[in-house]
Amino acid sequence: MYFVPVLFQNGEPHPIWLPLPIQSETFPSQTPWPWGTEPRNVACPSCSRASEYSESNSHWEQLPFHQADAITKMAIHLLVVPCGIEQCAGLIEILVIAKRGILPPERNGIVRSLNALGVVCGNGHRTTFLVASKPFQAFREIE
Ligand SMILES: [Zn+2]
Ligand SMILES: [Zn+2]
């Protein structure tokens, strides 16, 4: 049996299944939030909308057996975009669920379709621009 952390949020119709399955016969006892205490910007793979999530938005769900193979082909990627609001040097970090070994043209396609209005940079600014309007600094697999 596989359990997977799933993120839910008011106003976001799609649950986000994180490709971090753990094999266990019983319900996992650890927190389903893998990132310490930090809230994170996460992009929904279904509608490309990024919003802020924290531990209270996460819970475990049992992964249907037939999806176990599909989820292992996916990875969490970190997209880094410079903020630039009022010359801010901060960075906007958005977690994106995409397949492992994704190629640059596909990465660019994901960034272009991303709706990340209103997510926060490291210095607390809320974005008022489309992230695709700026060259990104990084798009790399993190887990
Ligand atoms: Zn969505
Ligand atoms: Zn900023």
- Provide the domain limits for residue 76: 2-141
Query: pTM of the prediction?
Result: 0.93
Question: What does each of the 143 residues of the chain score in pLDDT, given as a tens digit?
Answer: 899 999 999 889 999 999 999 999 999 999 999 999 889 999 999 999 999 999 999 999 999 888 888 998 999 999 999 998 889 999 999 999 999 999 999 999 999 999 988 899 999 999 887 777 788 999 999 97
Q: Which two tokens stand for residue 119?
A: 């997510």
How buried is residue 83: exposed, middle or buried, by Cβ count under 10 Å (0-12/13-18/19+)?
buried
Among residues 114, 4, 20, 2, the alpha carbon closest in space to that of 75 is found at 20
Question: How many structural domains are present in the chain?
Answer: 1
What's the CA-to-centroid distance between 131 and ligand 1, angstroms?
17
Ligand 1 center to 118 CA (angstroms)? 15
CA distance 61 to 83: 35
